[in-house]
Structure 1
Amino acid sequence: MSQYTDGFLLPLPKDKVEEYRAISSKAGQIWKDCGALEYREWIGDDLQVEGQMPFPKAVSASENETVVFAWITYESREHRDAVNVKVMADPRMAEMMAPSTCPFDYTRMYYGGFSNLVTA
């Protein structure tokens, strides 16, 4: 059975990195508690690659923002769907889901589900 991954890319104000780290650490624990195989978030470091479309441009990041690149891995798409139902029902998520307390502009977040193409 091939694994399934949800991926996302989002702009994050540089002065909100530690606030976001605290929230994403909690979210990661919730996803893992609900059955996700892996939860990873990465902060932009080398984002200006000449001749390529840089991630900051994709999310319309300002000079005061960086980019978070992340994924959550599951056994399958069906497993992802079941895990996400549990995550959304988890009371720990309620406090983190309010748009008014979100440290980034979630309307500029890119998200998608991906089936495995190559494993090397």
Structure 2
Amino acid sequence: MTYVSGFVQPVPDSNRKAYIAAAEAGWVLFKEYGALSMMENWGDDVPEGTQTDLRRAVALDEGESVVFSWIVWPDKATADACYATMETDERWQKLDMPFDGKRMIFGGFETVFTATAKGA
């Protein structure tokens, strides 16, 4: 089964184009280091919850949107090897990060079930 790195971060609405450009540039490196796919999703319907929610999780400010992202890897070892290069491959340092990384939430997940609709 595959391995997934998941991310939730607040991004200023004014940085939407810069964020997309950064994601495209990042994909080049992630793919080089073995990622199978990457998806970036701009919040469209992110309701306030009664106990917790994505807005509170990232301390969303006025004029920001929640962005939900993931990278699919063939396995955890490939993901770990890629992330280790962030200390040694200077190209990572050159990527623009148009959001507050201190409020980003992330984690790695072992895939336990997957399904795809016919034709997808």
Query: SS of the residue aligned with 2:65?
Result: strand
Q: How much has 1:49 moved relative to structure 2?
A: 6.0
Distance 1:59 1:12, change over 3 A: same
Tell me what 1:71 maps to: 70
Q: Which amino acid aligns with 1:29?
A: V
What CA distance in whole angstroms lies between the structure 1 residues aligned with 2:51 and 2:11? 21
Equivalent residue runs for 1:10-89 within 5 Å: 10-48=9-47, 53-86=52-85, 88-89=87-88
In the superposition, relative to structure 1, how do residues 50 and 94 fare at CA in structure 2: closer, same or farther (>3 Å)? closer
Matched, 1:105 2:104: no
Shift of the 93–49 alpha-carbon distance from structure 1 to 2, 3 Å rule, reads same
How far is the alpha carbon of 1:108 from its aligned partner?
Answer: 0.3
Residues 80-89 or 3-12, more deviating:
80-89
How many residues align? The count is 115
Contact 2:22 2:97 survives alignment (8 Å): no
TM-score of the aligned structures, taking structure 1 as reference length: 0.84
Contact 2:9/2:66 (CA < 8 Å) preserved in 1? yes
Q: Provide the C-alpha distance between the structure 1 equivalents of 2:107 and 2:5, rounded to a whole number of angstroms.
A: 6
**Cα-to-partner distance string for 1:76-105 (whole Å, 9 max, x where unaligned):** 111211232345543322212xxxx63211
Give me the whole-angstrom Cα distance separating, in 1, the residues matched to 2:93 and 2:17: 20
Question: 1:5–1:113: 8 Å Cα contact kept in structure 2?
Answer: yes
In the aligned structure 1, how far is the partner of 2:61 from the partner of 2:93? 29
Please give the TM-score of this superposition, normalised by the length of structure 2.
0.84
Q: Is the 8 A contact 1:34 1:87 kept in 2?
A: no
Structure 1 unaligned residues grouped into runs of 5+: none
Give 3-state SS (helix, strand or coil) of 2:68's partner: strand
